[in-house]
Amino acid sequence: MAKRDQSFEGITQKFSRNIYATNKGRLRLAVLERDLQAWLPQPGNAAKLRVLDVGGGLGQLSMLFAQAGCEVTHTDISAEIVGEAQALHEQHGLAQHYTYHVAPLQGLPELLQQRYDIVLCHAVLEWLVDPQQALVTLKQLMHANGRLSLMFYNRDAKILANIIFGNFDYVQADLTVKKTVRMSPQQPINPNDMRQWLEALQLKVTQRTGVRCFHDYLRNRDDQKRFDELLALELRYNQQSPFVDIGRYLHWQIEHA
């Protein structure tokens, strides 16, 4: 059977609980918000930035840009999730800054017919059959001076975590299992592959951040509940070597070379 891109249609509530309503999700959101502060327009800047959120999920991160007065296009492959995002934005009085589309990443250039100052693509590529081609599409959506915020599931970190927890057979089997788990990314990405793909597209990484550099490696699960302390450690160390490379996710801020 041919592989298909993952969709979360019909499991929005479960997805929300697993991703957004946990310390893992809160850490991820806080790190991204810290990283992207520098991309927000300055107060009083008359020029509104156009922001595209690809696979935006519940649209929590993009609210950072909507609150700054940017024009945000929110997209996701799941109509259910897009509806939940719109409801969240309405609750916060921000829906007037948004345009919504239900569409896969691959169809966005033809659908939108425009380019953006900032493209957000977080925790999307690892769910796709062809993440390399997805990068080509993302570049098509960027202005010549546009920027891309890309977060992807780190294959190296998945190997490290499974070795730490004794899952040697799984690592020896090249991280493959007979049964696919729907809530688990089907294709963690090798950072070296990502570097080569970006270089071939003449895109450069201007900032690298590890996301969840410590949380996922804690042997004592009670320590994972110490959110404030973990967040402080994340923000202190997650742009420094060697910690930046062991984040469960990697957040790379990208521009045209």
Q: Is 74 annotated as a binding residue?
A: no
Q: Is 44 annotated as a binding residue?
A: no
Q: Is 223 annotated as a binding residue?
A: no
Q: Are 166 and 100 in contact (CB under 8 A)?
A: no
Q: Is 10 annotated as a binding residue?
A: no
Q: Is 130 annotated as a binding residue?
A: no
Q: Which residues are annotated as a binding site for S-adenosyl-L-methionine?
A: 28, 55-56, 76, 122
Q: Which residues are annotated as a binding site?
A: 28, 55-56, 76, 122
